[in-house]
Amino acid sequence: MTPASARLLAVAAVAAVLGVAAAHWWERRTPAMAPATSATASGHAAAPPVAAARPGDPAPALRLPTLDGGQLTLAQFRGRPLLVNVWASWCEPCVREMPELDRLARAQPTDGLQVLGIALDRAEDVRAFLQRVPIGYPIALETPGPADASVRLGDIQGLLPYSVLIDADGRIVRQKLGPFAPGEVEGWVGGGAQPPR
């Protein structure tokens, strides 16, 4: 082996080690968001099998089960702005922001903003979580998948938490992928919520 090819081989080896180290560092960072399911880590974003809502679109016609065995629809919230927060009990960023969302919901006047949580989770896990962290706003359930409520609301990346602001007429106003920073949610909903008509 010539000295030039030995140097080239050494440079290539160092570059490979640095690349592996960088990849390891990238994977170990604390994620700001969590994949909705392990399948979504690879992403169901490439081609969602359903239409994903965008700002200005009507909110999708969702009918979702509740923990008490009932059902709710997004349409039943029309007439007042609605903040929909898609979460899961195992999603650390979701869990961190829920007390602030609960305070926001409780502070609203009877004709003010409504808050709805949609848990991409098993009912028993949601019940156990809500025993530890009581939340005053309604919680609906959804099975995670490539056509779940989060995707239909515009979360084509399949990451949690995911929030959507819907106006009093049932149209998507804003969408947010990732958690709210402390104190951010009031400004976020205030910047897009419309008063009832």
Count of CB atoms within 10 A of residue 63's CB? 12
- From 96, 94, 77, 74, select the one nearest 86 (Cα to Cα): 94
Which helix (H) or strand (E) segment holds residue 130: the answer is: helix 123-132
Beta strands 162-166 and 172-177, pairing class? antiparallel
State residue 162's pLDDT score: 98
**What are residue 174's DSSP bridge partners?**
165
Name the pLDDT band for 28 (thresholds 50, 70, 90). Answer: very low
Strands (E), the chain: 34-35, 63-65, 71-73, 82-87, 114-120, 139-142, 159-160, 162-166, 172-177
State residue 1's pLDDT score: 75
> Which numeric CATH code is attached to 34-190?
3.40.30.10
Between 75 and 40, residue with greater pLDDT: 75
Q: Does position 3 have pLDDT exceeding 70, yes or no?
A: yes
Q: In the numeric block, which tokens belong to residue 129?
A: 């979580």
Name the pLDDT band for 190 (thresholds 50, 70, 90). Answer: confident
Between 58 and 36, residue with greater pLDDT: 58
Count of CB atoms within 10 A of residue 111's CB? 11
